[in-house]
Amino acid sequence: MNIQPFKIAISQADLDNFRDRLARTRWPNQLPGVGWSRGVPVEYLKDLAEYWRTDYDWHRHEAKLNEFPQYTTEIDGQNIHFLHVRSPEPDALPLILTHGWPSSPVEFLKVIGPLTNPSAHGGNPTDAFHVVIPSLPGYGFSAPVRKVGWGNLFRVAQAWVELMSRLGYERYAVQGTDVGSGVALILGMIDAQRVVGMHLTGTGLPPFGPSVELEGLSEADRARGERFNAFQADGTGYLQIQATRPQTLAYSLNDSPVGQLAWIVEKFQAWTDPAALLPEDAVDRDQLLTNVSIYWFTGSGASSANAMYEGMQAFRAMVAQQSQGSVAQQSEQSGPPTGVAVFATDNTIRSLFDPGNRISHWSEFDRGGHFPAMEVPDLLVSDVQAFFSKLR
């Protein structure tokens, strides 16, 4: 049950090696006129990689990260890294936030201040939270993974239950995005006596399930359905590879910083606000590169791919055993209240995700995308505060 303070400290040797690898990148050719249709364009990536190598200041961002209290603890034989930022408000509600792929706790940096100290950001002090932000096993400083099985979200949720117990929180709120939304739902199932509610973002339909039938949908939901069907047809390559042959992919991600950069940046182009043409039009470029840098320095491109493999194995087994009905619906029937926020790029359709209309809080926004804490932190913070205001 030992919890140790943690500081990020990337060695100069690792930084020199990283920059040397970037400088010696063996660039591929690209066919003319294909743009982003086949992946990240060479000229775009060359410019971004050169900025990463020469202008991006890792030491400055490392110092900024180290301004937040960080810790590690071992749970079930696995090292778990987490941020723990307590609010100055004595009656603040504990809140655990879980990131997804291809992300890390860096995703939440812009929301920590407004969540923990709302009065300093023009908000109401009664909306304050004590914030806990773990790195998923196999991601960032929760790597390396020592045993198989940590990609199973049920096991991750059990670890989060233990983490919140070690921190002394008898009652807490949950927020999760992407893979983290699955962890959030499971926490509501397995720790219902302590979880006051689950707020979800980055939700969606099963990628390997049937396509969406568009007939009868509203205009907004039809657009979401069309996006989902297009994603199924042309956007699941990353998932197919990581869910079937993660170790083969691991060699490239672990050996080439440009390979790791391309693997993540493509998703920030495809999954962010549709009004943004380039990733840096949607999110802060340095925040994006800090996220990628953590993947590179910790070697967690490889370990997160293996986590996705195990997660998909567990997901398929769960789907095979489930009776008909949505996971969100079953969770709502048996656990604490659920809130969902849907942003502009999301393809979540309420009539399919929540057919029984049992989710107590549902918000839809015309801005933002798959990474709302980075893209539209103001919208995410206000929605989280609104949902939990009735559950404190």
Average pLDDT over the chain reads 95
Whether the Cβ atoms of residue 365 and residue 341 lie closer than 8 Å to each other: yes
Number of Cβ within 10 Å of residue 104's Cβ equals 27
The whole-number pLDDT of residue 332 equals: 44
Of the chain, the percentage scoring pLDDT greater than 90 comes to 91
Confidence at residue 322, expressed as pLDDT on a 0 to 100 scale: 57
Six token digits for residue 271: 């999954």
| Cβ atoms 254, 317 nearer than 8 A | no
User: Helix, strand or coil for residue 365?
Assistant: coil
Going by C-alpha positions, the residue among 249, 269, 270, 247 that lies closest to residue 260 is 249
Helix H segments across the chain?
A: 12-23, 42-54, 58-65, 109-116, 153-166, 179-190, 219-234, 237-244, 246-255, 257-270, 279-282, 285-298, 300-321, 327-334, 350-353, 372-375, 377-388
> CA 242 → CA 88, 204, 212, 239, 303, distances in Å?
42, 19, 24, 5, 10
37 contacts: CB under 8 Å, gap ≥ 6: none
pLDDT band (50, 70, 90) for residue 335: confident
In the chain, what's the furthest Cα-to-Cα distance? Answer: 60
pLDDT interval class at 143 (50, 70, 90): very high
Residue 253 clears pLDDT 50, i.e. is over it:
yes
CA 180 from chain centre, in angstroms, equals: 6
Question: What pLDDT digit, counting tens, does each position of 192-238 carry?
Answer: 999 999 999 999 888 888 999 999 999 999 999 999 999 999 999 99
**pLDDT above 70 for 328:** no
Instruction: State the Cα–Cα distance between residues 183 and 176, nearest whole angstrom.
Output: 7
Q: What's the whole-number mean pLDDT along residues 17-34? A: 97
Secondary structure class of 79 (helix, strand, coil):
strand
For position 293, what pLDDT does the model report? 98
Tokens matching residue 51? 């900025």
Full set of structural domains in the chain with CATH: 12-60+222-323 (3.40.50.1820), 66-206+332-340 (3.40.50.1820)
CB neighbours (10 Å) of residue 150? 24
Q: Which residues of 260-291 are buried (b: 16+ CB within 10 A; e: fewer)?
A: bbbbbbbbbbbbbbbebeebbebbebbbbbbb
Q: Using one digit for the tens of pLDDT, what is the confidence trace for 336-371?
A: 999 999 999 999 999 999 999 999 999 999 999 999
pLDDT at 317 > cutoff 90: no
- pLDDT greater than 90 at residue 333: no
Torsional sign, CA 156, 161, 166, 172: positive
pLDDT at 274: 95
Cis bond upstream, residue 88 (ω within 30)? no
For the stretch 56-106, pLDDT in tens is 999 999 999 999 999 999 999 999 999 999 999 999 999 999 999 999 999
pLDDT tens digits, one per residue of 148-168: 999 999 999 999 999 999 999
Whether 99 contacts 180, CB under 8 Å: yes
- Give percent of the chain above pLDDT 70: 96
Q: Which residues, at least 6 apart from 253, have a Cβ–Cβ distance to it below 8 Å?
A: 259, 260, 263, 295, 301, 302, 305
What integer pLDDT is reported at residue 334 of this predicted model? 62
How far CA 264 is from CA of 17, 82, 194, 238, in Å, comes to 20, 22, 35, 10
Instruction: Give residues with Cβ within 8 angstroms of 161, minimum separation 6.
Output: 187, 190, 191, 194
| Contact between 260 and 334 (Cβ < 8 Å) | no
